[in-house]
Chain A
Amino acid sequence: MTAYILRRIIYAMPILLGVNILTFVLFFVVNSPDDMARMNLGMKRVTPAAVENWKHERGYDLPLLFNESATGTGRITETIFFQKSLKLFRFDFGSSDSGRDIGYDISQRMWPSLAIAVPVLLVGLLLNITFALLIAFFRATYIDFWGVVLCVILMSISGLFYIIGGQYLVSKLLHLVPISGYDTGLGSVKFLILPVIIGVIGGIGAGTRWYRTLFLEEINKDYVRTARAKGLSETVVLFRHVLKNAMIPILTGVVVVLPLLFMGSLITESFFGIPGLGSYTIDAINSQDFAIVRSMVFLGSVLYILGLLLTDISYTLVDPRVRLS
């Protein structure tokens, strides 16, 4: 197992390197640091000195790949690629364009993100499975038909509407919870409850419909007929046989997104003013802070690959047919 995980981590390296090179090209080759500086300092009447100064402060004045003026290993290390891209492998994110320590910010901001994302995931999973099981139990009846119609309607509504509508109804009309904001400790609950509920509702349509398909796919298999031939009741068949088999794709589908929960939800966090990584990213995009966007791209890729690894491991845990080799 350990050897397997180690091998997988080594295997992930080329992918991360690819991500790194891609972002490097996107951020430093497509547009030069000079362009960035001018953009950041305002287009008109920027003196070359100001541009140089801006670049120097942020370490963008180094050569891209190879530093001829340095000596020894410095020829490689004293470059933008090494300083800004390769150092990410050590999770050394450096400082943002506005001078803050990105690593510290991330470690502070991931908790509020998790405080929303984890409950949304768990409650959503529970509700979706319950509804999907109900619909599957009443398959080919009106309950099934209208259940699916409702799901399609729910998933046709933009997520923005759920948020805006929810804020308007719950916070503005009924004054049940504050519209936005955040607090530490238990005080955060009143700020979190609405975003969590909205997150769950927003996912019900697509989730329930997807799980229903999984259940129905299982229900048509041979082993279900065997189970019925034993004289098991429909509920037992559904819970003990169908659910257990359908849980494999459901669980592994959940596991793959688990690490990405750290990244938070861009929209929800910014609407509710929650200081998580999602709103961090949005703020960085809006203030055109390239260092933060670059760090988040790398972090996202690492988490995605971690998700893939966890998925493979979870397969071996829930599916007896799969063994790690």
Chain B
Amino acid sequence: MISQLVILWTDGLVFLLLLVVILFGIYASRKAHLRGPWRQVARSRVGMGTLVVLSFYLVVALLDSFHYHPILDKAGQEEGATATQSVEVISLFDGLVEGLRERQEKTYSAPLATRLYAKENIELPDGRVVRDFPRLAYGGAHLADPETEWLPDILKLSAVGIIKGLVVSLAVANLLIILLAMRSRRSFGAQGRAVLRGATEIPWKVAFLTLAFMLVLVFWSAELAAKYHLLGTDKVGEDVYYQALKSIRTGLLIGTLTTLVMLPAAILLGIMAGYFRGWVDDVIQYSYTTLNSIPGVLLIAAAILMLQIYMSNHEFDSLVERADLRLLILVIILGVTSWTGLCRLLRGETLKLREMDYVQAATAFGVSNLKIITRHILPNVLHIVLIAVILDFSGLVLAEAVLSYVNIGVDPTMNSWGNMINSARLEMAREPIVWWSLAAAMIFMFSLVLAANLFSDVVRDAFDPRLRGSR
């Protein structure tokens, strides 16, 4: 299937970020002072476990960042030679889970339900009209008699999913153990036993267990989601599981792109202020104090309000592009409000570093300012940047939810945990309560943020020797 790739603004930034991370990885692997702490992260059980969880989120977000116009098959056949492309923009991830995206119900339905959540007038074949919960169009539609077949079917599907997950994880684990055995020149059995005993330098056992857990979860949910709405449907009948998965990209993008956007300014200005001092310092300090003094939420609110005016006066090709622009602006504004902290940190550190003897020695050699900054200052503040970036991530993910709730977050048409919570809270007053949208968003968000928090703790301990002793 040939289709036209669409690179949204944020997609481009994601690829740029990926490139930056890969380049940094290559750079770090050559520098002992960066390699060492990362090795320490890899040796930590918490580090490995959370890394596995985070990589699942990452894969979904990346798949969701390849956008294209899908080909409309039917239209193409009718018109003959050229296949027409839809104006709709979907992602690779959408393509993978097409079923989830397209099987829309009428309105609310509970997780794994076979019937709608609201009573409707149903016209029976004999013409009578009764008021009852109608069957869902897709969820459990394969069951003839949901009342008796439902539970066995669920159990069967679960069992199949779990077994599939276990088989795949075993296969992956064996493959990895073979690779490890080859690298350490041990027999497969010896390597396997070492892993099981937890005697390897990198805690592979924890990594495998986490991986197996995640894989089982993925296969189990895939099995069930194919036939049911695993987490129910929302007001307009969209699958909540699909929404929650789609929100991963939004959350991750806000958490990462914001730092990517603000990093150049923070590093450049922070180091310049600390290194050159004098009026340069005064100007930079003035600008970040001024920016900092505006409460972040209000600055974002003001900017988003202005964006709304701009958007209402301009036309967009598609809803996705419109939402994407808003995401981009949001990321930039969040960047503007959050660069000041890092900038101040770097300024302080540079002030200290420029008085170090080795900087004085470089000056005594007549080394130029630019070289001193790139060779002596920058490498010595890099760990601070890294810690700040990783620490900021979870805060930004949580902030997205709050901002979307206040309607100054991402576009309302975009899938995000904040939007899910926002729409769900209106249903809290319903009797019986519609809880699944909320729960889904909370669980997805919580596991991401928890993993990120634990991971950032490990990274910080590895990179910040000052705190190493206090543990």
Task: Give A residues with C-beta under 8 Å from B.
Answer: 14-16, 18-19, 22-23, 26-27, 30-31, 35-36, 38-39, 43, 139-140, 152-153, 155-161, 164, 167-168, 172, 213, 216-217, 219-220, 260, 263, 266-267, 270, 281-282, 285-286, 288, 290, 293-294, 296-297, 300-301, 304-305
Within the assembled complex, what's the spacing in Å between the Cα atoms of A301 and B297? 12
Q: Whole-angstrom distance from the CB of A145 to the nearest CB of chain B?
A: 10
Q: A267-B405, A282-B406, A285-B407 are in contact. Are A153 and B450 (CB under 8 A)?
A: yes
Within the assembled complex, what's the spacing in Å between the Cα atoms of A267 and B309? 24
Q: Whole-angstrom distance from the CB of A213 to the nearest CB of chain B?
A: 7
Within the assembled complex, what's the spacing in Å between the Cα atoms of A213 and B470? 8
Known A31-B309, A220-B470; 18 more pairs at CB < 8 Å? A15-B293, A16-B293, A19-B293, A22-B290, A22-B291, A23-B294, A26-B303, A30-B310, A43-B312, A156-B453, A158-B417, A160-B401, A216-B467, A267-B406, A297-B294, A297-B299, A301-B294, A304-B294
Q: Whole-angstrom distance from the CB of B216 to the nearest CB of chain A?
A: 23
Q: Whole-angstrom distance from the CB of B419 to the nearest CB of chain A?
A: 12
A285–B428 contact, CB under 8 A? no
Interface residues of B in 265-312 (CB under 8 A from A): 286-287, 289-295, 297-299, 301-303, 305-306, 308-310, 312
B467–A213 contact, CB under 8 A? yes
B308–A27 contact, CB under 8 A? no
Residue of B293, B406, B407, B425 most packed against chain A (CB within 10 A)? B293
A297–B446 contact, CB under 8 A? no
Closest to A270 in B: B406
B298–A297 contact, CB under 8 A? yes
Within the assembled complex, what's the spacing in Å between the Cα atoms of A213 and B468? 11
Q: Whole-angstrom distance from the CB of B288 to the nearest CB of chain A?
A: 10
| Chain B positions within 8 Å of A153 at CB level | 450
| Chain A positions within 8 Å of B421 at CB level | 158, 160, 164
A285–B305 contact, CB under 8 A? yes
Closest to B401 in A: A158
B302–A27 contact, CB under 8 A? yes
Interface residues of B in 431-471 (CB under 8 A from A): 433, 438, 442, 445-446, 449-450, 453-454, 457, 466-467, 469-471
**Among A286, A290, A294, which residue has its beta carbon within 8 angstroms of that of B407?**
A286
Q: Whole-angstrom distance from the CB of A306 to the nearest CB of chain B?
A: 10
A160–B470 contact, CB under 8 A? no
Q: Whole-angstrom distance from the CB of B57 to the nearest CB of chain A?
A: 14
Within the assembled complex, what's the spacing in Å between the Cα atoms of A43 and B445? 36
| Chain B positions within 8 Å of A26 at CB level | 302-303, 306
| Chain A positions within 8 Å of B428 at CB level | 164, 167-168, 172
| Chain B positions within 8 Å of A219 at CB level | 470
Q: Whole-angstrom distance from the CB of A142 to the nearest CB of chain B?
A: 14
Q: A156-B453, A160-B402, A285-B408 are in contact. Are A31 and B442 (CB under 8 A)?
A: no
B453–A267 contact, CB under 8 A? no
Closest to A289 in B: B305
**Among A39, A266, A294, which residue has its beta carbon within 8 angstroms of that of B308?**
A39
Q: Whole-angstrom distance from the CB of B313 to the nearest CB of chain A?
A: 6
Interface residues on B, range: 35 or more
Closest to B424 in A: A164
A297–B302 contact, CB under 8 A? yes
Closest to A286 in B: B407
A156–B450 contact, CB under 8 A? yes
Q: A26-B302, A152-B450, A267-B402 are in contact. Are A304 and B292 (CB under 8 A)?
A: yes
Closest to A285 in B: B301
Q: Whole-angstrom distance from the CB of B279 to the nearest CB of chain A?
A: 14
Tell whether B394 is near chain A: CB-to-CB under 8 Å: yes
Within the assembled complex, what's the spacing in Å between the Cα atoms of A19 and B295? 11
Tell whether B112 is near chain A: CB-to-CB under 8 Å: no
Q: A15-B286, A43-B312 are in contact. Are A296 and B298 (CB under 8 A)?
A: yes
A155–B305 contact, CB under 8 A? no
Q: Whole-angstrom distance from the CB of B362 to the nearest CB of chain A?
A: 32
Q: A35-B313, A220-B470 are in contact. Are A18 and B305 (CB under 8 A)?
A: no
A304–B295 contact, CB under 8 A? yes
Q: List 9 A-B contacts (CB under 8 A).
A: A18-B286, A157-B446, A160-B402, A161-B442, A220-B469, A266-B297, A285-B305, A288-B305, A297-B294
Within the assembled complex, what's the spacing in Å between the Cα atoms of A219 and B305? 48
Closest to B287 in A: A18
A260–B294 contact, CB under 8 A? no
B312–A39 contact, CB under 8 A? yes
Within the assembled complex, what's the spacing in Å between the Cα atoms of A35 and B405? 25
Tell whether B373 is near chain A: CB-to-CB under 8 Å: no
Within the assembled complex, what's the spacing in Å between the Cα atoms of A31 and B314? 12
Within the assembled complex, what's the spacing in Å between the Cα atoms of A26 and B421? 30
Interface residues of B in 367-413 (CB under 8 A from A): 394, 398, 401-402, 405-408
Residue of B309, B310, B408 most packed against chain A (CB within 10 A)? B309
| Chain B positions within 8 Å of A281 at CB level | 297-298, 301
